[in-house]
Every structure is written in structure tokens, then in C-alpha cells.
Amino acid sequence: MNNLIIKRTQPELIAPMLATLTDRVFSDPDWIYERKLDGMRCILNKKGDQINIWSRNNKLQNNVFPELVTALKRYPSDFILDCEVVTFIKTTTSFERLQERLHVQNPDSALMKRIPVVAYVFDILFLNGYDLTKLTLLDRKKIIKQNFKFAAPYKLLNYRKTNGARYFEYARRHNWEGLIAKQASSTYLNRRSRTWLKMKCNQGQEFVIGGYTKPRGQRVMFGALLVGYYENGRFKYAGKVGTGFNASNLLLLLKKMQPLETNESPFSDYNPVRNNAIQWINPKLVIELRFTEWTAGGHLRHPSYLGLRNDKKHKLVIRESK
């Protein structure tokens, strides 16, 4: 047996490997290229009759995606798989549409039929009592193909070994989020790494809400969100976002924000004097935004709301750098 395959008790929780943002689009025979999916990262853990689906911040998702739990019962092995759970609008993954599933516990059959999810598996960490994380990425992918025949709602995520730059242009033309480039020889690390790189077609990342403005005109609930990120333990202001909302997510956000209301600005670098139009909140809610660029002053240009995330700890939200 390969001495990199280690006999070890399968853990219940395991931190996922994370990619580092890059602005370099490249082709390299020592790397592979996968489609970057716009969904929710999940770790699938099956040990005997116990099946758990964990978010990247170790929140159990069994009651959010019961159809994924049921489908895993078809597979007899014990394993830990890494995947991305998505839903589609035509051929494009949509985190905005996925919102209708992420905040519903025990969805009924009508909702699951209207918003079906697909779990794209792209890595394996454990199999039948053996730790596979020290194997190369390509070896781990071979093990997946040899041991699993996926059927809906599970799919194996395809990858390319060549022409990364050309594949990125294909991704751009088809409105994908981008690509994940992975070093073919990389082992699985339980942290962010530069052996996995994300090449985005559009600017976007997570931010934390630090306040909101009162509604004006025809807007109800609230006007705009004030958002920020953490840098060396300080919560820094990134700007306001007032587009991308509908009636449903306006109501959801307001319900989440009201219990967090406070009288003091949480931002280390933004506290306007006598601004009664702003309601501050404790910065704990993580959201995903799309935007065109960062300004020279460090603020977002043309941000738009995509959705509320419950799979990332607020203190881990930083300004992504390339």
C-alpha cells in the first residue's frame, strides 16, 4: 500500500482547503483547472449510518439539504468528500437563487422541486478508515473515479489539464464565476494555500454588515447596508450597498440585523457625526457582494448584493488580495 495513505480514525469535523485569489491567468502542465462554482462549500462525512453535511464553518446542513443526506445512503463506504452545493439559472450557477434554500430548515417537497440543488464533488479526504490527504491531487481524483459512480443530486466536477488561459476565456464568455487552478501534485491542506488559486471573471467577495440606513422614497425595511472587513483585528469600512435586494431578502436581512443593533459605530475608520439616518449593528452578519472595482480610497465601486452567508465566520472576512 502507498505509504502516503495513512490508517487513521475518520474525524467528524475537518477544515476545508481554501484557494487564494490571483489576477494571473495562466496555462501550466503542472496544474489543473476546474470551474469555480457560485454556491455553498460543504464537507460530506459518512461513517456507518451517520451522515453529516458540514459548512466550511462547521455548521450542520442536514436539515437544509435533506435530499443530499438521503442520496448519500446509496454509497456503502465510509468517506469524507469535498464539494460545492449549487443551484442553476439555466446553465449558470446562482448564489442568489440558492438563498431560497439556505435559510429554510426542513424544506418541503415543493421547495426542493422548485429550487433543486446539485452537489459537485471535487476531492476526497478519507475512505474506509484511511487518510488520503497526503496523496497528490490527481491521485485523490483517481480514487474518487475508482470508488464512486455519482447520480443526481451528486455529480463529479470535471477538470482540464491544459490550456488554462483558453479555458478562462471560455469561462468569461459563458458568465461563469471563474476558474480554480490547482497544482496537480498538491496535498490537501486544512487552510488557505497558494497551491490552489482562484481566477475570477468578476470582482466579488464576502463582507460584514456594520450598519444600515433608514429607508427613503419607495424603499421599505432599510435603504443601504454599510459593510466592511477585518484587517489586523480592526473592522474597516468598505462602503455602502443599496442594490440587488428584493422584498424577501430585505425582510430577511432586517430580521437578522435588528437583534444586533447598537448605538456605536463598529468601524475603526468611519463614524460620521450626528448621522441619525444610520443604525449601527454589531458586525456579525456575512454577506456576499459583486462590485466593479476598489477605489483608490479603499471603497467599493458599484457594489450589488448577492446573498447572506451563514457558512463563514465574520472575523475571517478580510479584503481579498492578489
User: CATH number for the domain including 37?
Assistant: 3.30.470.30
Query: Which residues neighbour 120 within 8 Å (Cβ) at sequence distance 6 or greater?
Result: 37, 83, 84, 85, 86, 155, 156, 157
Look at residue 262 and tell me if it is in a domain. yes
* pLDDT tier for residue 1 given thresholds of 50, 70 and 90: low
Average of per-residue pLDDT across 229-244:
95
Look at residue 1 and tell me if it is in a domain. no
Q: How many domains does the chain have?
A: 2
Query: Which residues neighbour 26 within 8 Å (Cβ) at sequence distance 6 or greater?
Result: 164, 165, 181
Q: Is the pLDDT reported for residue 322 higher than 70?
A: no
d(CA 235, CA 194) in angstroms, rounded, equals 25
170, 200, 230 - which closes a domain: 200
200, 224, 256 - which closes a domain: 200
Same domain? For 193 and 251 the reply is: no
* pLDDT tier for residue 133 given thresholds of 50, 70 and 90: very high
Same domain? For 67 and 25 the reply is: yes
Question: pTM for the full model?
Answer: 0.86
What pLDDT does 196 receive? Answer: 98
Same domain? For 155 and 285 the reply is: no
**Among the ranges given (138-147, 161-170, 205-214, 289-298), the one the predictor scored with the smallest mean pLDDT:** 289-298
Same domain? For 154 and 233 the reply is: no
Same domain? For 257 and 275 the reply is: yes
Instruction: Pick 208 or 248 by higher pLDDT.
Output: 208
Look at residue 16 and tell me if it is in a domain. yes
Same domain? For 41 and 184 the reply is: yes
Look at residue 36 and tell me if it is in a domain. yes
As a whole-number percent, the residues of the chain with pLDDT over 70 amount to 98
Q: Is the pLDDT reported for residue 217 higher than 80?
A: no
What is the extent of the structural domain holding 161? 6-200
* pLDDT tier for residue 295 given thresholds of 50, 70 and 90: very high
* pLDDT tier for residue 292 given thresholds of 50, 70 and 90: confident
Same domain? For 195 and 218 the reply is: no
What pLDDT does 15 receive? Answer: 95
Residue 283: which CATH number?
A: 2.40.50.140
Average of per-residue pLDDT across 63-91:
95
Same domain? For 192 and 243 the reply is: no
* pLDDT tier for residue 203 given thresholds of 50, 70 and 90: confident
Could you report the per-residue pLDDT of 4-19, keeping only the tens digit for each? 899 999 999 999 999 9
Same domain? For 298 and 176 the reply is: no
d(CA 28, CA 72) in angstroms, rounded, equals 35
> Is residue 101 within 8 Å of 72, Cβ to Cβ?
no
Same domain? For 175 and 275 the reply is: no
Same domain? For 113 and 208 the reply is: no
Look at residue 321 and tell me if it is in a domain. no
* pLDDT tier for residue 244 given thresholds of 50, 70 and 90: very high
Q: Is the pLDDT reported for residue 51 higher than 80?
A: yes
200, 220, 239 - which closes a domain: 200
Query: Which residues neighbour 145 within 8 Å (Cβ) at sequence distance 6 or greater?
Result: 156
Look at residue 322 and tell me if it is in a domain. no
What pLDDT does 198 receive? Answer: 95
Could you report the per-residue pLDDT of 153-186, keeping only the tens digit for each? 999 999 999 999 999 999 999 989 999 999 999 9
Same domain? For 228 and 136 the reply is: no
